[in-house]
Copies of this chain bind each other. A is one copy, B any other.
Amino acid sequence: MIDYRIDRGGGVPAYVQIVEQTERALRMGFLKVGDKLPTAKEVVAATAINPNTVLRAYRDLEQAGLVELRRGLGTFVTRSLARPGAEDDSPLRRELGDWVARARAEGLERADVLAMVTAALDTHDTAHDSRAPQDRARTKEDA
């Protein structure tokens, strides 16, 4: 069962956080087709957000074609976003684990790691002319 963590006061709406965390779990294969999401009540108990907010997020996920809300039954995953390369035992994942361990050991914070990865993605995608590199801030120095 996925376990949502809501960061209040970070400016990102709670329902967006639920949607993003769910999509992340789908990409990682932590959630599979047929899996049940926690009920609104369970999320409320764990996060202290309002059930309506949970349902708002679930509705968004439904419209994205990822889950199905069944009245009286619950909310179920209907589509996977799992990626071959992201598997538990893939070399890619093992190497990333090593890299993260070293980064943390060198004193880098979670936010530093995320900043580095975002920058690395920007650099790579810019160099390879990839489309739609959204959520990106570049500096002229990149040019």
Residues in B with CB closer than 8 Å to A103 are: 85, 92
What are 23 A-B interface contacts by the 8 Å CB criterion?
A1-B139, A2-B138, A3-B138, A5-B134, A5-B137, A7-B135, A11-B16, A12-B12, A21-B136, A21-B137, A22-B137, A25-B137, A31-B139, A63-B63, A83-B107, A85-B103, A85-B108, A96-B120, A97-B124, A101-B124, A110-B133, A110-B134, A113-B121
Assuming A86-B112, A96-B117, A117-B113, is B63 touching A25 (CB within 8 A)? no
| A135/B17 in contact, CB under 8 A | yes
Give the distance to chain B from A74, nearest Cβ to Cβ, in Å: 15
Is A33 interfacial (CB 8 A cutoff)?
Answer: no
CA distance A28 to B117 in the complex (A): 10
Number of interface residues of A (CB under 8 A): 73
Of the candidates A9, A104, A107, A125, the one having the most CB atoms from chain B within 10 angstroms of its own CB is: A104
Residues in B with CB closer than 8 Å to A3 are: 137-140
Residues in B with CB closer than 8 Å to A138 are: 2-3, 5
Is A114 interfacial (CB 8 A cutoff)?
Answer: yes
| A85/B107 in contact, CB under 8 A | yes
Give the distance to chain B from A57, nearest Cβ to Cβ, in Å: 10
Residues in B with CB closer than 8 Å to A16 are: 10-12
